[in-house]
Amino acid sequence: MKVGLIPVNIGVKSVDKMVGLAQHAEKVGFESVWTFEHVMVPVDYASRYPYSADGKMGATPETNFVDPLIALTAVAASTTRVRLGTGVNILPQTNPLYLAKQAASLDFVSNGRLMLGLGVGWLEEEFAALGVPFERRGARADDYLQAMRKVWSGEVVEHDSEFLRWHGFKSYPVPVQNPLPIVIGGSKGKALERVACFGDGWYAPAATVDQIAGLLPKLDEACRKVGRDRKTIEITTMWIPAMEGPDVVQRYAELGVARLLVPAPALGMGGDVIDGMTKLADEVLSKLG
């Protein structure tokens, strides 16, 4: 079982503390570090966050949200082994050619450590601030995913669609990894269909083993419709050790989960996160296969 830390880019007070978290994670045996993304946080918003009971995200407008790709570039420069995941970047609100370039460049400078987690977003106010339509964001994301793969191929790009007109160019460097792992996040709407069609991995928005167990039949059905074996999809989900304990890890593995992400706040606030990481590594990570 792989175990990662999330997030390393939210609420951090300095670059030294952000990079220090990642360096310690690498030192004590975490497999990966992950980020969250919001370009801005509205003072007030009508949009409902779909994965909390009150419909609100767990961050104030004053919370530091370091851009994920910039944060992971700093981490890449200061580590050698730990993998780098975005969990998740909001694909349809960005320029896909810029994102394809930035992702390929990050995979290049990290020597092939990026896992590009992508989602369609939920915060309509953020789309409005960026001047991007909120409507049909799922269809736009699907198109962008296919177009970005062409950019990463190293071949001449030809992509003519409802959303893009790309013709006669190449973009280098291409990612070190071939293919660059795409991790699709979410479980609402057509998220699982998107995982089955386009994802190398799935970032499941679940916080307990029972929650992920309840979602897996839906993923199986999405895979069946496109003729895909669910075992070809690397499943990542949250794990809160203090809530479920280490014994549940085996059950996650039996369900086919490949990676558990431990929320940094669950390990302690401030400097206590380092101590919590060390304790978890000593008591649990050292015993995992």
Q: Return the pLDDT at 272.
A: 85
pLDDT tens-digit map of 109-153: 999 999 999 999 999 999 999 999 999 999 999 999 999 999 999
Outline where 153-201 has alpha helix (H).
191-198
Tokens 């300095």 correspond to: 14
Superfamily of segment(s) 2-287: Luciferase-like domain (3.20.20.30)
Nearest CA to 15 out of 74, 81, 82, 60 is that of 74
pLDDT of 289 above 80:
no
Burial of 158 (0-12, 13-18, 19+ CB in 10 A): exposed
Give the pLDDT mean for 237-266: 96
What distance, in Å, lies between the first and last C-alpha atoms of the chain? 6
* C-alpha span between 232 and 217 (Å, rounded): 15
Tokens 């779909």 correspond to: 50
- How far are the Cα atoms of 53, 75, 181, 241, 248 from residue 202, in angstroms, in the given order? 22, 23, 10, 21, 20
Provide the pLDDT confidence category of residue 270 given band limits of 50, 70 and 90: low
pLDDT tens-digit map of 176-208: 999 999 999 999 999 999 999 999 999 999 999
* C-alpha span between 232 and 49 (Å, rounded): 29
Pairing state between β 257-263 and 2-6: parallel
pLDDT of 251 above 70:
yes
Q: Return the pLDDT at 90.
A: 98
Rg (C-alpha) for the chain, rounded Å, is 18
Give the pLDDT mean for 70-75: 98
pTM: 0.96
Give the type of residue at 244. Answer: E
- Greatest Cα-to-Cα distance within the chain, rounded to the nearest angstrom: 54
